[in-house]
Structure 1
Amino acid sequence: MESTIVKGVNVLELLVRSRGSVRLSVIAEELKLPKSGVHRLLGTLIELGFVQQDADSGRYSTTLKLWEWGQNIIADHPAKRAAAPYMQELHRLTQETINLLVLDGDEVLFLDKILAARPLRFSTQPGSRALAVMTAPGKAMLAHEPDAEQIIQHSIATRPRAQGLDPRQIMADLEEVRTKGYTSANGSWTVGICSYGAPIMGRDGRAAAAISVTAPTERVDPAKDAQIVEALLYTCARIAETVGEL
């Protein structure tokens, strides 16, 4: 039986992912919990300052308290602290969108982003997640995971978007990272978008994080491709030196 804490966290997660206000009945139905129990949980979360209720509609939504806590946590993340100035320089050199990501299970979590002056039609936000096997930076980090093959097999077996992917091709992409220091993807996650990913290596031989450069394919010719790769590898190497000192 789930504890009250677990149920409360599940309610919070549902509200966060809904990106808007939600009726009590919808929460109860989604979580398969009795309305009376959900009402008590929401009352506690309101008292603690995590949830608010709209007086007119009666719907529930999260407050900014989670964001406030998250900002305090992310500000002290070693990779984010080390990467910030170098991401600015990489953005200046490439004039494209720069992302900082970490690996979390079989997903990548976006920690930070600098948008291009002419941003992409589709763009993730800090706090967004994506399947690691479907992104260049995800593969850049998986290449240095000792259980990478198991992570890949799990994603293909359990994630609808990953079904149909060729594990042999993914393993070949990981070998490319280990050989060349980076990998790239052209439209594998989002059509019309080029993505380059390289790891920020930690002292333990695993990737502490990864940097990606994303750009519309029409903006990337062979010369721009070479420029992005050179700047990305240099940036990740410099950040890795700083991470090792933190």
Structure 2
Amino acid sequence: MDRAVSRAFCLLEVLASASEPLRLTEIAELSGLQKSTAHRILATLVELGYARQEASGRYAATLRAWEFGARSAAQLPIKRIAAGFLHGLHRTIGETVSLTLLSGTDVLYLDKIIAPRPVRFRTRVGSRVPAVLTASGKAILSQRPDGPDLVRRSAEQQGLDIAAVEAELDEARRRGYALSGYSPGVSSIGVAVGAGGAAAEAGLSVSAPGERLAGESRDRVIEALLEAGARMSEALARP
């Protein structure tokens, strides 16, 4: 691995993950680099347009990296195919719907349509979250042959009770959907999506305050999710 390249990406990730512009000292601490090294790499990132330095001297990421990421995401067949199903699900249910993709032991949020009655979410498009913490992630893992191994690895990393998580996924496999309360005050229901007999790689989820996902409303959401997931899987299987 080229150290210079890895350091540059490390600093870019630090800037992109920050909620506000950072001082050089903060960047050096978060990246584990010496200030002189961080300063030199930041100067290059600024010159290339991937970072900017504000009048205060703090640094922030620009939208340059987002441009490449957005283009790559747009080229994914699953994102193109999922668009219609996401919008249809959103119109039917009226709650926030998301498309996620399994990436290692995490899920990556590829798309999200926010409800007219918004709630506070921890996730946004581009967010990466441990799969075992999300409804769609649990649904995906419950349908994969390597799910048990991924569950153990992720549960250990998160300090979770492996047996409890495995039991939860067994239940998700049996009923066809998974539940989660990852964001405080928000409940989520997720289903897995896969092409034909291939292992599930994506998931659809609906999120809303717990009181809006109860009783008949919850039953309606589950029915709509299962139908959308099945139809999307069929669409992915077509040549």
- In the superposition, the TM-score normalised over structure 2's length comes to 0.92
- Name the structure 2 match of 1:171: 166
Task: Report the Cα distance in structure 2 between the residues aligned to 1:47 and 1:106, rounded to whole angstroms.
Answer: 35
In the TM superposition, residue 14 of structure 1 has moved relative to its aligned partner by 0.4
In the TM superposition, residue 123 of structure 1 has moved relative to its aligned partner by 4.8
Q: What's the RMSD between the two structures over aligned residues?
A: 1.8
Task: Report the Cα distance in structure 2 between the residues aligned to 1:86 and 1:146, rounded to whole angstroms.
Answer: 26
Task: Report the Cα distance in structure 1 between the residues aligned to 2:64 and 2:81, rounded to whole angstroms.
Answer: 26
Are residues 1:224 and 2:217 paired? yes
Give the number of aligned pairs: 239
Quick check: 119-128 or 132-141, which moved more?
Answer: 119-128
Task: Report the Cα distance in structure 1 between the residues aligned to 2:167 and 2:118, rounded to whole angstroms.
Answer: 31
Task: Report the Cα distance in structure 1 between the residues aligned to 2:75 and 2:20, rounded to whole angstroms.
Answer: 29
- Name the structure 2 match of 1:144: 143
Classify 1:191/1:41 alpha carbon distance in 2 versus 1 (closer, same or farther; 3 Å). closer
Question: Identity, % of aligned pairs?
Answer: 41
> Where do residues 75-224 of structure 1 align in structure 2 (5 Å cutoff)?
75-159=74-158, 163=159, 165-185=160-180, 187=181, 189-203=182-196, 205-224=198-217
Quick check: 36-45 or 199-208, which moved more?
Answer: 199-208
* 8 Å Cα contact 1:102-1:110 kept in structure 2: yes
- In the superposition, the TM-score normalised over structure 1's length comes to 0.90
Are residues 1:70 and 2:69 paired? yes
- Name the structure 1 match of 2:18: 18
Task: Report the Cα distance in structure 1 between the residues aligned to 2:172 and 2:199, rounded to whole angstroms.
Answer: 13
In the TM superposition, residue 22 of structure 1 has moved relative to its aligned partner by 1.4
Task: Report the Cα distance in structure 2 between the residues aligned to 1:194 and 1:37, rounded to whole angstroms.
Answer: 44
In the TM superposition, residue 157 of structure 1 has moved relative to its aligned partner by 2.4
Quick check: 231-240 or 173-182, which moved more?
Answer: 173-182
Task: Report the Cα distance in structure 2 between the residues aligned to 1:48 and 1:122, rounded to whole angstroms.
Answer: 33
* 8 Å Cα contact 2:155-2:165 kept in structure 1: no
Structure 2 residues without counterparts, runs of 5 or longer: none
Task: Report the Cα distance in structure 2 between the residues aligned to 1:70 and 1:4, rounded to whole angstroms.
Answer: 21
In the TM superposition, residue 224 of structure 1 has moved relative to its aligned partner by 1.1
Task: Report the Cα distance in structure 2 between the residues aligned to 1:36 and 1:220, rounded to whole angstroms.
Answer: 52
Classify 1:212/1:29 alpha carbon distance in 2 versus 1 (closer, same or farther; 3 Å). same
* 8 Å Cα contact 1:51-1:62 kept in structure 2: yes
In the TM superposition, residue 2 of structure 1 has moved relative to its aligned partner by 6.1
Are residues 1:6 and 2:6 paired? yes
In the TM superposition, residue 5 of structure 1 has moved relative to its aligned partner by 0.1
Task: Report the Cα distance in structure 2 between the residues aligned to 1:94 and 1:156, rounded to whole angstroms.
Answer: 32
In the TM superposition, residue 110 of structure 1 has moved relative to its aligned partner by 0.9
* 8 Å Cα contact 2:212-2:218 kept in structure 1: no
Task: Report the Cα distance in structure 2 between the residues aligned to 1:176 and 1:205, rounded to whole angstroms.
Answer: 21
Task: Report the Cα distance in structure 1 between the residues aligned to 2:163 and 2:62, rounded to whole angstroms.
Answer: 45
Aligned to 1:168, what secondary structure does the other structure show? helix
Partner AA of 1:102 in structure 2? L
